[in-house]
Amino acid sequence: MRKLGLISVTVVGVAILSASPISIKLSGEKGLSVSLDKAYAVIGRPLTPGSVAGVNRRHTRRAVRRCAAGVTCPHYY
């Protein structure tokens, strides 16, 4: 019973740490530290959704899907 409780606490802890942007680091000077990570999407990088290339790629993909579905095909009129 005690082993099952330890396993369940470990699984819940791993699920929380993998779902949240928290890092646990072990350093020689500070010991164990917990930090909150941040993700930065830089506009202008080729693979970010807000970049010019990303917007163009998304626009083209949607236009192709609409044309394939028969909704709009402006170049056939």
Q: What is the spatial distance between Cα 44 and Cα 37, in angstroms, rounded to a whole number?
A: 22
| pLDDT tens digit sequence for 4-49 | 889 999 998 888 777 777 777 887 787 888 888 777 766 666 666 6
Q: Of 73, 43, 41, which Cα lies nearest the Cα of 55?
A: 43
Q: How many Å is the maximal CA-CA distance in the chain?
A: 72
Which residues, in sequence order, are CB contacts of 32 under 8 Å at separation 6+?
A: 24, 25, 26
Q: Say whether pLDDT at 76 is over 80.
A: no
Shared-domain flag, residues 45 and 27: no
Shared-domain flag, residues 53 and 22: no
Q: What is the spatial distance between Cα 22 and Cα 34, in angstroms, rounded to a whole number?
A: 7
Q: State which residues form the domain around 55.
A: 40-77
Split into its structural domains, the chain has a count of 2
- pTM as predicted: 0.33
